[in-house]
Amino acid sequence: MQKKVMYPTALTIAGSDCGGGAGLQADIKTMQAFEVYSTSVIVGLTAQNTYGVQDVMPTPVEMINAQFDSLYADFDIKAAKTGALFDADRVQAVAENVVKYGVKNLVVDPVMVAKGGAQLLDDNGVLAVKKDLLPKALLVTPNLPEAKLLAGMTIESKEDMKTAGLIIQESGVPNVIVKGGHLEMETVYDYVLLEDEEFFMTGPKVHNENKHGTGDTLSSAITSGLAKGLFLKQAIVEGHAYMNRIINHSLFVGHGHGPLNHGNWADPNKVRTGFGLEVLGPQLVIETENISGSPRALANLVKSACRSGVKVVQLREKDETKLNWEDKVVLAKALKQICSDNHSLFFIDDDLDLAILSHADGIHVGQSDTSVEHIVQQAPNLLIGLSISTMEEFKKSEHLFQHLAYIGVGPVFATQTKKDAKLPIGLDGLKAIKAKSPVPVIGIGGVSEETASRILDAGADGVAAISAFTKSNNLYKTVFELSKKE
């Protein structure tokens, strides 16, 4: 099977924790857990273990600049975060590079004091973060002691957290999370103040000593979501869910405050937010006809769907299209760009020329369309999906599986959308094919928020749908429902 794995890239700008539980080591592990490629600018070294920080050595400013130069000469960095920055000179250097390279989606974790009490940002550094870095950031994530310093007030209640959030927002950063883990309560409240919304996130207080690196981990998790193209609120909620999960599976290594288990992310939904073809998630199949004939409306739907978590989009422009060839090419190229920007794969239905011209990632073909062998010969880099409607078609196609990324099996249920659809194969038919298929099985036809979980429970690796998306008034929920097993 051909495989193409797409990895968004993120950056951590932070200090090294040689003990591996916090700092940029925690960031890299978290990003890996989110299937995001991590790059790093090392702002300083710490000699550190689970007992605390024994020594600190900041990186020379020239070397910080050189690391930024190297990374931005090469990588397409979609989101970045800062951790320990040590002093005002280093904050200044980071702020200058943020401007120089137009660093996108910057999350500032204003690390000031390590768990054992060592100072990781001096007093002038705190002022520099406020003045030089926060106005350039998308989000800042202080814990209570950090929020007290940034807001210049004591914080002893949830109300105080809200006031502190507003004061910090006035520094010029549009979004703030004040983390309340230090409040003496059995529930941990984190106050989220966004540009247009505010809410508390809650989690249980965890009664063990292994919480080293929690701040780094949450901010990296959010940064990972941003790198993958999630909306900020989604990235925050997913990051928080990740933290809540792994904090309950922390590791007993070392003899002091142990680290989190960043790899313990055995959430059944996880595979559906990943990248790569083993983890297709719901596929949006769409043509201008489905969306009042308007290419712009189609582009908007594709953009929103990608941002809601769709990882594969297929353009299925049929003969009835009102578009001429040139307009079709323009549309396909625009959709490919939207998909690339959002780390989603872009497929074309049937049309090999259009797939090649638009630099699509893949092509989907039916039993009577362009042959798989011809595609492999003409465009060996294209991923290929093949339609299968019956067990007979499956058996007839077995020699092609070596070339396929997936098979689209259906219609599973009756569909109004495809006029020439064959008879529904049903859940039992799908199950029988899944049992024999060496490639992922995507169920299509009559997929809705109600039927998707039955198709997935029958063994499908993912679903593809048209009307479920075009009729949706909440794409995020639709993607969630189309990814969910019972």
Ligand X SMILES: Cc1ncc(COP(=O)(O)OP(=O)(O)O)c(N)n1
Position 366 contacts Mg ion (CB under 5 A): yes
Secondary structure (3-state) at 108: strand
Q: Which two tokens stand for residue 459?
A: 């063994």
167 in contact with ligand TZP (CB under 6 A): no
| Window 268 to 287, contacts with ligand TZP (CB under 6 A) | 285
- Residue-wise DSSP of 79-103: EEEE---BSHHHHHHHHHHHHHTT-
- CA 390, CA 384: separation in Å to the nearest integer? 19
> CB-wise, 134 or 452, nearer to ligand TZP?
452
- The one among 122, 278, 341, 350 contacting ligand X by CB under 6 A: 350
- 456 among annotated binding-site residues: no
Can you state the percent helix, strand and coil of the chain, rounding each to 5? 40, 20, 40
Q: What is the dihedral of CA 20, 24, 26, 31, to 10 degrees?
A: -140
Task: Pick the binder of ligand X from 4, 333, 418, 434 (CB under 6 A).
Answer: 418
Does 171 count as an annotated binding residue? Answer: no
Q: Please list every residue from 274 through 293 that binds ligand X, using CB under 6 A.
A: 283, 285
Q: Which of residues 426-465 bind ligand X (CB under 6 A)?
A: 442, 444, 464
- Residue 342 CB, nearest distance to ligand X (Å)? 19
DSSP 3-state of 241: helix
What does 485 bind: Mg ion, ligand X, ligand TZP, none (CB cut-off 5 to 8 Å by kind)?
none
H/E element holding 387? strand 383-388
Residue 371 tokens, joined: 């042959």
Q: Which does 212 bind (CB under 5 to 8 A by kind): ligand X, Mg ion, ligand TZP, none?
A: none
318 is in an annotated binding site: yes
Q: Is 78 in the site for ligand X (CB under 6 A)?
A: no
The C-alpha angle with vertex 74 and arms to 68 and 77, in degrees rounded to 5, equals 70
Cβ contact 68:90 at 8 Å: no
If one asks whether residue 418 binds ligand TZP (CB under 6 A), the answer comes out as: yes
DSSP type of residue 282: P
Q: Does 201 bind ligand X (CB under 6 A)?
A: no
Query: Residue 125, interface with ligand TZP (CB under 6 A)?
Result: no
Rule CB under 6 A: say whether 417 interacts with ligand TZP: yes
CA–CA separation, 79 and 10 (whole Å)? 5
Residue type, 474: N
From candidates 61, 279, 323, 421, binder to ligand TZP by CB under 6 A: 421
- Select the residue interacting with Mg ion from 136, 271, 369, 400 (CB under 5 A): 369
Residues making up the annotated binding site are 314-318, 349-350, 369, 387, 415-418, 446, 466-467
The residues of the shown chain that bind ligand TZP, judged by CB under 6 A, are: 285, 410-411, 415, 417-418, 421, 444-447, 465-468
